[in-house]
Structure 1
Amino acid sequence: MSNEPEIARLAACGVVPVVVIEDVHLAVPLARALLAGGIDVIEVTLRRPAALAALETIAREVPEILSVAGTVVTPAQVTDVKEAGAQAVVSPGFSEAVDDAMRAAGLPWLPGVATASDCMRAVAAGRLTCKFFPAEQAGGTSALKALSGPFPQMKFCPTGGVGLNNLADYLALKQVICVGGSWLVPADAIANRDWARVTQLAKEARERVKALRG
């Protein structure tokens, strides 16, 4: 596993909320609701115009949570998220151009992999901790077990189709450091400002992680 402290925090938390934020004003209360449930990391995806402002606001006003930028697919976005205060970056795939930009930015990066070819490119670049995406569609735990044969040095954060129903299956694998998922932050809960529900989902997830890890 990477020796970056940010990656260690993802592993310690065990679950990473993957968030789509439509309104920057919802960013801070959402982050605080997750913290109240025991989750101290958040991945804000660059899927909406408000994402960069949300990242910046969370980094400034809720510094106790690890701010991760997700869905970063271009070198220009790497620059943008660093300026916004992101402390780590996640991408759905791997590209040499983004890899170069991440090295220049000096931020921890989890590139996405789904196949053996993806893993070969990541290993060649020295990227040994990766996002496994889309996890369920790419074969789930059986695919991860198969990939760990030729790539025993790699660690993964499976995302895509992961929830409370299969959380235990993924975290039982020694090569999985954490999982990512949007089930922790339902779109309707965010839209309705139902922060109590977000906190409850966070608590349930953290309790499951603790129970699984002893």
Structure 2
Amino acid sequence: MQQKTEALSQVLTGQPVIPVVQISNLSHAVPMAKALVAGGLPAIEITLRTAEALDAIRLVANEVEGAIVGAGTILNPKQFKEAADAGSQFIVSPGTTVELLGVAKDHAVPFLPGATTPSEVMSMMEEGYSILKFFPAEQSGGRAYLKSLSSPLASVRFCPTGGITPQSAPDYLALPNVLCVGGSWVTPQDAMDAGNWDEIERLAREASGLKTA
């Protein structure tokens, strides 16, 4: 089994921050995505943590020019297939299962599975995966932990997500084994609730200007 590495790499290296968005009001999906694209963050992960998530992915995929919409918090093959059918261009899981690896093999949509321990990372390497999600980043040892993995597991690159802030993001992005970070700070709930799309575009523009190693 081989990860669709080139396609996934193009998504993750195109911007330093992947917005991780939870949609609870479907009317927010399109203006939110337009604001992120305008701010320089076209790749957007919409998490399947709400009943509106799949419809939100479908709307963004169909109506927002330039957006590269992905699905996050994918936990099983059913969700994987539903997200792919909704128009997801990449799929993210907090961890990895044999069943998810199986369905990912049969789909053209690139898969970003989660791995935290060296053993999990090595298992993914055996399956042909070289780009992984590191979650929950801060709670699992953060930057220091990822730095310690960069030498013995030098061929693997990560997208750390979980607890990362605008202040800590540059430290992660300076690591040689980090492609990008996932962050929810770009779409704060108060700005979403208020429909303050200018603020979200501003935050996206700031995040898109962060430098990677």
TM-score range normalised by the length of the shorter chain: over 0.9
Determine the structure 2 residue equivalent to 1:37: 39
Determine the structure 1 residue equivalent to 2:199: 197
- The alpha carbon displacement at 1:2 in A equals 6.0
- The alpha carbon displacement at 1:164 in A equals 1.1
Look up the equivalent residue of 2:163 and give its one-letter code.
G
Structure 2: distance between partners of 1:12 and 1:82: 21
- The alpha carbon displacement at 1:182 in A equals 0.3
Query: Which runs of structure 2 are paired with 1:1-214 in the superposition (5 Å)?
Result: 3-209=5-211
How many residue pairs are counted as aligned between the two chains? 211
Look up the equivalent residue of 1:11 and give its one-letter code.
T
Contact kept, 8 Å, 2:5 with 2:110, in 1: the verdict is no
Q: RMSD of the TM alignment (CA)?
A: 1.4
Look up the equivalent residue of 1:61 and give its one-letter code.
E
Contact kept, 8 Å, 1:18 with 1:182, in 2: the verdict is yes
* Ranges of 4+ aligned residues in structure 1 off by more than 3 Å: none
Deviations 1:154-175 (A, max 9, x none): 0000101112101111111111
Structure 2: distance between partners of 1:116 and 1:9: 25
Cα distance 1:63–1:101, how it changes in 2: closer, same or farther (>3 A)?
A: farther
- The alpha carbon displacement at 1:208 in A equals 2.4
Structure 1: distance between partners of 2:56 and 2:62: 10
- The alpha carbon displacement at 1:30 in A equals 0.2
Question: What's the secondary structure of 1:113's corresponding residue?
Answer: coil
Contact kept, 8 Å, 2:16 with 2:210, in 1: the verdict is no
| Structure 1 gap ranges (5+) | none
Contact kept, 8 Å, 1:171 with 1:178, in 2: the verdict is yes
- The alpha carbon displacement at 1:106 in A equals 1.9
Look up the equivalent residue of 1:122 and give its one-letter code.
M
TM-score (norm 1): 0.94
Structure 2: distance between partners of 1:183 and 1:130: 21
Structure 2: distance between partners of 1:32 and 1:73: 27
Instruction: Give the percent of matched residue pairs that are identical in Structure 1 and Structure 2.
Output: 41
- The alpha carbon displacement at 1:20 in A equals 0.1
